[in-house]
């Protein structure tokens, strides 16, 4: 048995599920542990993102390690049946939103903590670095939430992303604009505002191309430095151009600064269709409240999906018991990502990196067995799930409601948003 086989074992433990009525007590005679490294920003400007991600990961681990009446991968059995009911152990690392810190933490998790896989990392710039380290050591990297398309185009064997990437998200956004235009709504001009890391750059490149292909006039195209102390100049340019639709790509602190600066300068965009991230974060919504009523965001998740995915509300309750907040676009992807990874480790019946990689490559999970609006989870040769269908949601009445595509919409869009 090599060093990445069943790593640890202890005495008898009695494991109980956190939510009564969903699980039964499970008595385990041994408790071997499968160690997975988790990298998120736990301090600095994005600390709340990391805290929320930790709650999502711990909720997913609870689902795997105990027995729940949920139609989700790994929920029914207490532990990994393929590895003698071994339990998942998560080791968290704080990359501080710094790619080089992420590199160091990934190497520590691999060489010192002997993890069998890595998952993370929220920021695409950090996921780029960490996935390269995982590749070098021959360990799978499960990209839970980073959405830059270029991450899956580097020829990596050990990179896997169950959720959509920004080309898929942006295509859905422009499909929505086309649909609004077909209904007679005024949608002729668009404006781009994006931060200068790989996330913003990839997003803007995709949206610039789509605008040209779909016949929308790009009237303002602004790149700004991430975590900028001021966006006054940028907002003045946006106000002057006044596009029919503003398409921003920003993380949380920048999104809050942007909206506050708009208020100070008296600029009310006709419509905002955001690339999620900061615009879907609870900290942003708490800070801005009714000032962002009508904002539209692309998404992988919405609570109203419970009408089509029965597990949604149960899992959300489990997450909320830990975090005191609902699942959102990021935390839903993080939670589902760990379930997908655990399912592969279970089928691999091993903690060997290559065997887990092979199991991930063979994954085929029906969308109905997720909490997402996806058709299924099935990875292409590049490690991307092409069936991770995105949706668009609108912030109405203090919550996000699914408005597109029509087949899954729960409400008609408010358009324009400032009416």
The domain that holds 238 is classified in CATH as 3.40.50.2300
Q: How many domains does the chain have?
A: 2
- What does pLDDT average to over the chain? 91
Predicted local confidence at residue 31, as pLDDT: 54
Q: Which residue has the higher pLDDT, 25 or 84?
A: 84
pTM: 0.84
- Model confidence at 25, in pLDDT bands (50, 70, 90)? very low
Q: Do 67 and 191 fall within a single domain? A: no
Q: Do 363 and 215 fall within a single domain? A: no
Per-residue pLDDT at 13 exceeds 90: no
Residue of 350, 319, 349, 352 lying closest to 333 (CA atoms) = 319
Q: Do 261 and 322 fall within a single domain? A: no
Round to whole Å and give the CA distance between 235 and 242: 10
Q: Write the CB contacts of 310 (distance below 8 Å, at least 6 apart in sequence).
A: 71
Per-residue pLDDT at 287 exceeds 60: yes
Residue of 7, 138, 142 lying closest to 73 (CA atoms) = 142
β-partners of residue 377 are 365
For the residues 250-265, what does the mean pLDDT come to? 95
Q: Do 196 and 229 fall within a single domain? A: yes
Per-residue pLDDT at 27 exceeds 70: no
- Model confidence at 14, in pLDDT bands (50, 70, 90)? very low
| 320 torsion bin: left (phi>0), alpha (psi -120 to 50), beta (else) | alpha
Q: Which residue has the higher pLDDT, 352 or 417?
A: 352
Predicted local confidence at residue 45, as pLDDT: 86
Q: Which residue has the higher pLDDT, 276 or 203?
A: 203
- Is 119 part of any domain? yes
Predicted local confidence at residue 54, as pLDDT: 98
For the residues 387-414, what does the mean pLDDT come to? 91
- Model confidence at 276, in pLDDT bands (50, 70, 90)? confident
Domain of 213, in residue numbers? 166-299+392-404
- Asked which of 9-13, 96-100, 324-328, 391-395 is least confident by mean pLDDT, the reply is 9-13
Q: Do 140 and 26 fall within a single domain? A: yes
Q: What percent of the chain has pLDDT over 70?
A: 92
- Is 160 part of any domain? yes
Per-residue pLDDT at 39 exceeds 90: yes
Q: Do 260 and 399 fall within a single domain? A: yes
- Model confidence at 303, in pLDDT bands (50, 70, 90)? confident
- Model confidence at 5, in pLDDT bands (50, 70, 90)? very low
Round to whole Å and give the CA distance between 333 and 342: 14
Predicted local confidence at residue 210, as pLDDT: 97
- Is 411 part of any domain? no
Per-residue pLDDT at 58 exceeds 60: yes
- Model confidence at 26, in pLDDT bands (50, 70, 90)? very low
Predicted local confidence at residue 345, as pLDDT: 98
DSSP 8-state secondary structure symbol assigned to residue 4 = T
């Amino acid at each position: 048995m090599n060093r990445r086989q069943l790593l640890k074992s202890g005495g008898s433990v009695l494991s109980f599920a956190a939510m009564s009525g969903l699980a039964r007590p499970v008595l385990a005679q041994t408790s071997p542990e499968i160690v997975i490294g988790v990298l998120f920003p736990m301090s600095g400007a994005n600390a709340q993102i990391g805290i929320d991600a930790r709650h999502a990961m711990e909720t997913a681990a609870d689902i795997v390690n105990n027995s729940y009446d949920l139609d989700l991968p790994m929920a029914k059995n207490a532990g990994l049946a393929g590895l003698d009911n071994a339990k998942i152990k998560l080791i968290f690392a704080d990359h501080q939103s710094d790619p080089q810190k992420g590199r160091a933490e990934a190497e520590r998790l691999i060489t010192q903590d002997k993890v069998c896989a890595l998952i993370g990392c929220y920021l695409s710039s950090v996921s780029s670095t960490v996935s390269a380290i995982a590749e070098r050591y021959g360990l799978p990297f499960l990209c839970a939430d980073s959405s830059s398309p270029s991450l899956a185009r580097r020829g990596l064997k050990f990179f896997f992303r169950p959720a959509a990437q920004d080309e898929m998200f942006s295509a859905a956004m422009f499909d929505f604009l086309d649909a609004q235009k077909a209904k007679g709504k005024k949608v002729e001009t668009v404006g781009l505002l994006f931060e200068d890391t790989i996330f913003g750059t990839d997003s803007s490149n995709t949206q610039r191309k789509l605008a040209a292909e779909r016949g929308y006039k790009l009237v303002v195209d602004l790149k700004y430095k991430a975590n900028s102390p001021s966006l006054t100049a940028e907002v003045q340019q946006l106000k002057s151009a006044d596009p029919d639709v503003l398409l921003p790509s920003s993380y949380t602190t920048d999104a809050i600064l942007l909206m506050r600066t708009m208020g100070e300068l008296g600029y009310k965009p006709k419509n905002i269709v955001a690339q999620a991230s900061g615009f879907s974060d609870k900290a942003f919504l708490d800070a801005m409240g009714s000032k962002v009523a009508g904002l539209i965001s692309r998404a992988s998740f919405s609570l109203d999906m419970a009408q089509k995915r029965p597990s949604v509300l149960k899992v959300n309750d489990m997450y909320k018991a830990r975090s005191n907040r609902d699942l959102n676009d990021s935390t839903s992807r993080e939670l589902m990502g760990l379930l997908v990874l655990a399912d592969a480790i279970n089928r691999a019946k091993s903690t060997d990196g290559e065997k887990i990689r092979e199991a991930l490559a063979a994954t085929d999970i029906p969308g109905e067995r997720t909490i997402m609006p996806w058709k299924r989870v099935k990875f292409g040769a590049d490690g991307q799930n092409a069936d991770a269908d995105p949706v668009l949601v609108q912030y109405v009445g203090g919550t996000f409601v699914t408005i597109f595509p029509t087949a899954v919409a729960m409400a008609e869009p408010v358009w324009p948003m400032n009416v």
